[in-house]
């Protein structure tokens, strides 16, 4: 696992300043503390920070082909590289290392842009081909690894593993993008391809970008997408057996390493299944790491211990205090742009713990999206049945009115929150799902933003992110549609972002067997009834794992990786929230309606409403503004973004 950075002159062959590249690379030192490397030639500068995992002796980067005409910098792992080496050798390519990185340069020579189709893994890489006068970069299919880039005014393309890399370049347009602000307060992250800054973008999942010097810059090309065909006529027993074998293959590929390896073990279904599979593949005890909480409402450690005991793992546990809120400013600096998933706190802590024992850790991330594990999926399917019973022409006016008139009951289980249900019934499937996952829903964002800022948005609604992806989903199955939406949005913008930054902050490589693209493709062929049956999510996955895991791990209620925000904001963080949300930093941006900010703080701290999620979102935005924008320039930068 590594950090990459570079500059490419799309118009000519200017020389780039070595000191600038040094700054861009040094700022991501945490991603690769073992070694640093550079390559300079006219019109090109490449940089790399290395966390050594495979081929410790000769895997340095930038890495080149036989004659030095192709140079690559690479972040990630190509798990099937050992299969590709003999195929490429048969085509005449000569290998000088045992590194998976070298496969990339030879695959580019052999197959060009289509080389990415041959790779199985998590990756973000950039290469320069001197003979073709071409620059090429790509991101893996499920966007496990990040890739930021910017086309600067002078025609220079800058790229890096984190936004902070691009921020070292003096010509980056760091004005805040109003549309990114709208997306952030709806979703808790800025969705691909946008970033918080107008001048920078993210390469999306399964996208590549090929630039030929002197030619117009094309749009990124989508080289992969998942297709929910749901046409696999397979029995539950057959599917369980095949899933078990596919999981074994995926885990086996991710256990290749020349450094200490282990796994996260939360006590949930996904991480427990990964650990059970690792134990079956390893002759040595598996190293496992868990975080325990001193608040029993958030503590799953007893279930993690059951799995650890069953498989006799080397299990390490640390207890996190329920008032572990000292990381707020650390997280703001770590994520570079506003990011509002509060589970980033325990994720940071479990990565910190794991790095004391291992350099590579396998995780269970991605299971909820592909297997149908989220509670919100089951709620959405219930609502879809009700929506199907009435035409939109009847539902929208009737339930829209009820949704406006009925009081909101935050304290009740969602199924009894009539206002939320009525609002969902007045919408189509995509809009209803977007509404259900939004941190601040449309009516709240209307009140949150100042009239001036709403005018700058020009009518843009973050719902357009979901509309765009829904248009490409090519399915009318209710579950498949929202699984597709999550694979394109939440998994990428929230889960993968959280794990990448938290793990890399501790120079830890995390691998996700449940995000293997071949596994995801196969699961997308299975009928939705194998994923959710009645009120049971992950139905197939749990059935397949019954021989390997105890029932109270498989079938207990899902807890999640939560922190007690509501209590924090009425207790130990009460004054901090008030100072941040109502203070000068947010006021100076011109984005917010101060009266509504006052309402959010007062209503939450009085106990009248639970506004913990919106307040955390505001708290992280305030920390971002404070950390990333000079106070004297903040209002001008935001205003200029219009």
Just list the catalytic residues.
Answer: 2
Q: Which residue has the tokens 């996260």?
A: 264
Q: How far is CA 466 from each of CA 47, 303, 386, 452, 488, rounded to the nearest angstrom?
A: 35, 36, 22, 25, 9
**Contact between residue 29 and residue 60 where contact means Cβ atoms under 8 Å apart:** no
**Contact between residue 146 and residue 497 where contact means Cβ atoms under 8 Å apart:** yes
Beta strands in 368-429 (DSSP E): none
Sheet holding 207-212, edge to edge: 63-64, 70-78, 121-129, 134-139, 207-212, 221-222
- Mode of pairing for the β-strands spanning 2-9 and 156-160: antiparallel
Phi, psi of 116, rounded to the nearest 5 degrees: -65, -25
463 CB-side CA count, 13 A? 17
Q: Could you give the 3-state DSSP secondary structure of residue 159?
A: strand
- Mode of pairing for the β-strands spanning 261-264 and 287-293: parallel
Quick one: DSSP state of residue 97?
S
Total number of residues shown for the chain:
642
Report residue 525 as tokens: 């062929």
Q: How far is CA 403 from each of CA 423, 430, 599, rounded to the nearest angstrom?
A: 5, 18, 21
Beta strands in 238-384 (DSSP E): 261-264, 287-293, 314-320, 360-362
Q: Which residue has the tokens 């020579």?
A: 109
Q: Could you give the 3-state DSSP secondary structure of residue 592?
A: strand
Calpha distance 345→275 (Å, rounded): 23
Q: Could you give the 3-state DSSP secondary structure of residue 61?
A: coil
Residues whose CB is less than 8 angstroms from the CB of residue 492 and which lie 6 or more positions away in sequence, other chains included: 142, 143, 191, 192, 204, 205
Beta strands in 314-403 (DSSP E): 314-320, 360-362
**Contact between residue 203 and residue 209 where contact means Cβ atoms under 8 Å apart:** yes
SS3 content of the chain, % helix, strand, coil (to 5): 45, 15, 40
- Mode of pairing for the β-strands spanning 134-139 and 121-129: antiparallel
Calpha distance 371→378 (Å, rounded): 12
Report residue 25 as tokens: 């690379």
Q: What stretches of 228-374 show up as alpha helix (H) in DSSP?
A: 236-253, 269-281, 301-311, 328-335, 344-355, 367-371
CA torsion 533→537→541→542, rounded to 10°? -90
Residues whose CB is less than 8 angstroms from the CB of residue 390 and which lie 6 or more positions away in sequence, other chains included: none
């Amino acid at each position: 696992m590594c950090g990459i950075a570079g500059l490419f002159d799309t118009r000519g062959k200017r020389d780039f300043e070595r000191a600038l590249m040094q700054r861009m690379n040094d700022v991501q030192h945490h991603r690769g503390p073992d070694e640093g490397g550079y390559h300079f030639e006219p019109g090109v500068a490449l940089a790399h920070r290395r966390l050594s995992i495979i081929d410790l002796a000769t895997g340095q980067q930038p890495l080149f082909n036989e004659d030095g005409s192709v140079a690559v910098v690479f972040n990630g792992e190509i798990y099937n590289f050992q299969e590709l080496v003999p195929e490429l050798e048969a085509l005449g390519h000569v290998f000088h290392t045992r590194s998976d990185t070298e496969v990339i340069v030879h695959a580019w020579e052999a197959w060009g842009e289509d080389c990415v189709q041959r790779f199985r893994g998590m990756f973000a890489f950039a290469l320069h081909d001197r003979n073709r006068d071409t620059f090429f970069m790509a991101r893996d299919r499920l966007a496990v690894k990040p890739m930021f880039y910017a086309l600067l005014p002078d025609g220079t393309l800058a790229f890096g593993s984190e936004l902070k890399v691009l921020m070292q370049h003096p010509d980056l347009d760091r004005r805040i993008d109003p549309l990114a602000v709208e997306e952030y307060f709806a979703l808790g992250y800025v969705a691909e391809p946008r970033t918080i800054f107008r001048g920078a973008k993210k390469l999306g999942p399964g996208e590549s970008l090929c630039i030929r010097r002197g030619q117009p810059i094309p749009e990124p090309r989508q080289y992969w997408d998942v297709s929910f065909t749901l046409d696999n006529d397979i029995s539950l027993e057959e599917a369980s057996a095949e899933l078990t074998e596919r999981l074994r293959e995926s885990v086996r590929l991710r256990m290749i390493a020349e450094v200490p390896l282990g796994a996260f073990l939360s006590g949930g279904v996904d991480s427990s299944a990964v650990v059970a599979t690792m134990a079956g593949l390893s002759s040595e005890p598996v190293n496992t790491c868990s975080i325990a909480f001193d608040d029993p409402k958030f503590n799953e450690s007893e279930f993690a211990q059951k799995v650890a005991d069953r498989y006799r793992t080397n299990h390490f546990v640390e207890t996190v205090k329920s008032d572990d809120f000292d990381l707020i400013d650390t997280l703001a600096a770590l994520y570079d742009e506003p990011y509002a998933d509060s589970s980033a706190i325990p994720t940071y802590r479990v990565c910190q713990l794991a790095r004391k024992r291992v350099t590579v850790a396998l995780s269970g991330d991605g299971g909820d999206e592909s297997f149908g594990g989220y509670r919100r999926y089951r709620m959405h399917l219930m609502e879809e049945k009700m929506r199907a019973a009435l035409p939109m022409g009847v539902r929208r006016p009737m339930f829209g009115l009820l949704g406006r008139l009925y009081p909101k009951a935050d304290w009740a289980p969602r199924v009894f929150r009539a206002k939320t249900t009525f609002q969902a019934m007045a919408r189509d499937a995509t809009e209803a799902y977007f509404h259900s996952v939004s941190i601040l829903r449309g009516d709240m964002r209307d009140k949150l933003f100042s009239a001036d800022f709403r005018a700058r948005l020009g009518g843009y609604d973050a719902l357009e992110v979901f509309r765009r992806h829904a248009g490409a989903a090519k399915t009318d199955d209710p579950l498949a549609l929202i699984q597709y939406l999550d694979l394109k949005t939440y998994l990428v913008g929230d889960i993968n972002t959280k794990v990448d930054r938290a793990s890399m902050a501790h120079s830890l490589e995390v691998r996700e067997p449940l995000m293997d693209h071949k596994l995801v493709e196969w699961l997308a062929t299975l009928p939705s009834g194998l994923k959710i049956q009645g009120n049971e999510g992950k139905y197939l996955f749990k059935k397949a794992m019954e021989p390997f895991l105890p029932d109270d791990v498989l079938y207990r209620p899902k807890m999640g990786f939560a922190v007690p925000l509501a209590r924090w904001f009425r207790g130990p963080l009460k004054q901090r929230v008030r100072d941040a949300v109502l203070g000068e930093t947010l006021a100076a941006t011109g984005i917010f309606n101060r009266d509504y900010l006052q309402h959010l703080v007062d209503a939450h701290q009085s106990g009248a409403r639970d506004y913990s999620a919106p307040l955390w979102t505001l708290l992280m935005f305030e920390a971002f503004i404070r950390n990333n924008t000079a106070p004297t320039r903040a209002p001008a930068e935001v205003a200029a973004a219009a």
